[in-house]
Structure 1
Amino acid sequence: MIYLDFYGDDTQGSVILQPTIWYHMVYIYDYPTRTQFVYINGKLDKSNSNKGSYKGDSEVLTVSYTSANNLLDNGPLGINGAGTNFQFTAFGRIDQGLDLLVDPSYVQVTGLVYLDTKDYPYSVAVWIRPTMITNGTIIHVSSDTNDTSWSMSMLGFTSAGNVGVQDCTTSNAVSITEPVVATGMWTHLTVAYAQSNQLRLWINETVYGTSSTIFTSSTADAPVTVTLADRWYDKNF
């Protein structure tokens, strides 16, 4: 079972997990309500309220590229990144960040299997501090690194500067268009899909949009590449 541990102030899930099966797990602690949540494959497994605050060394738990000045995956999967014309900066939202300021500039990770699995739940989160908000992609998903076949602009900006989110069915795109975000300020964006909740967008931990239609997410049926891009990369919103 999934387990969220605050050292004796815990939440244990109810779903029995099976070996050799991949699961998408999310742990959430809501400070205002003092509630712990544990999700499996996009569905709430268990929640507990009146829990004490997290008192660890950091308020952010990550599995990411945290080594200084490289894109080596510190997690167990070894999914290293690569990119073009990007720069590391000491002024990220938390510790280091990436500057994508010239055309072209982007960072990619490849060989992601479950993001290409039909109707499989996912969530993607990113901190941004944009210098421009007219057109362009923040997160792009494609079947290869050169974007020559199947592709989708998952998260980006419209021509009016609104945040846009997309997913695909077998025949068309499902989109959400939400507010304009400020330039020069940090904003936290989260995109999530699950069949029970459909496509959703969070801005600074507040749900801003949910797709109005029920749909089945359909992808490339092959391991995909995710590109964190500057504004040149795609303009399909």
Structure 2
Amino acid sequence: MQQVWLNGNLDGSRLASAYDGLWEITTIGATFQLGKATGFNGYIDNARFEARAKNSTEILDDATLHVYYSFDDGSLTDNGPNGINGTASGRLSSTTGRVNQGLEFNSGSYMYYSYNPFYFLGISGYPFSIALWVKPAGSYRRQTLVFVDKLNDWCANLLVITSFGQLVAIGWNDATVAANGPILRFNIWTHVGYTYSTTNGIRLGLTTCSPGYGGAFTGALDEFYLYRRELTAAQIWALANP
């Protein structure tokens, strides 16, 4: 069976026998006919070869799982398909996580990137989903869990904790809109799921910079996922029950 997938969705398929030819010269970005190269105009990234047929779940993750950080052993390495590793500012330390190890934040420490890997968060109407485990510590105050900044353009505190300990998800629709969640308890792991699409808007689930929000987070995070699609309630539930 031959199949072609676009953005994680099956686009076409047909019955076909296995390739039984010999290895020849392989090219990426050009095809050769009668000794003449016909080049591709555009961009190609993250090209990989797998010596097996992937299933639909694996292909969907390849297409839409943007980053996944397990934070095991204090690592900021992206365990997803794109290799978008983070950089620490201040002291980030490994701690007991919800799943294996998590990452502890204190004294104003945070994780950042030297470039803009999350371009789609600034595209109007582009769906996305964020899922992570949170365990706040210290005292209730304004704290930021996820902050996105496009230099000299816009910025947004996507997930914050208010001075009353309430979880708030921020979105943009010509003005700041927010979905309010519950009060987060200290030293207790809570799973947070935040999804957005033009169909359903912002959905916050539990088991210009926004004024009045933001600040350094004190506590621990674990199992951070960012998708370029809207996850279903069942998919968020699966992440909350590893």
TM-score bracket, shorter-length normalisation: 0.5 to 0.7
Q: Which of the pair is proportionally richer in helix? A: 2
Could you tell me the TM-score, scaled by structure 1's length?
A: 0.57
Instruction: Give, in whole Å, the separation in 2 of the partners of 1:196 and 1:95.
Output: 36
1:22-77 CA-partner distances (Å, limit 9, x unpaired): xxxx97xxxxxxxxxx99x99xxxxxxxxxxxxxxxxxxx9335563432223331
Instruction: Give, in whole Å, the separation in 2 of the partners of 1:133 and 1:164.
Output: 14
Q: How far off is 1:185 after superposition?
A: 0.3
Matches of residues 75-114 of structure 1 in structure 2 within 5 Å?
75-102=80-107, 104-109=108-113, 110-114=116-120
Is the Cα contact below 8 Å between 2:70 and 2:102 reproduced in 1? no
* Structure 1 residue corresponding to 2:148, chosen from 132, 138, 141: 141
The aligned amino acid for 1:152 is A
Q: Unpaired runs of 5+ in structure 2? A: 13-42, 45-55, 219-242
Could you tell me the TM-score, scaled by structure 2's length?
A: 0.56
Is the Cα contact below 8 Å between 2:88 and 2:109 reproduced in 1? yes
Task: State the SS of the aligned residue for 2:164.
Answer: coil
Is the Cα contact below 8 Å between 1:166 and 1:176 reproduced in 2? yes
**Residue 173 (structure 1) aligned with residue 167 (structure 2):** no
RMSD between aligned residues: 3.8
Instruction: Give, in whole Å, the separation in 1 of the partners of 2:170 and 2:159.
Output: 7
Instruction: Give, in whole Å, the separation in 1 of the partners of 2:161 and 2:71.
Output: 27
2:133 maps to what in 1? 127
Identity of aligned residues (%): 26
**Residue 182 (structure 1) aligned with residue 180 (structure 2):** no
**Residue 16 (structure 1) aligned with residue 19 (structure 2):** no
The aligned amino acid for 2:118 is L
1:113-145 CA-partner distances (Å, limit 9, x unpaired): 22222201100011111013321211111114x
The aligned amino acid for 2:101 is Q
Is the Cα contact below 8 Å between 1:107 and 1:229 reproduced in 2? no
2:48 maps to what in 1? none
| The structure with more radius of gyration | 2
Q: How far off is 1:106 after superposition?
A: 0.7
Instruction: Give, in whole Å, the separation in 1 of the partners of 2:134 and 2:99.
Output: 11
Q: Unpaired runs of 5+ in structure 1? A: 4-13, 28-37, 43-61, 205-218, 221-226, 232-237
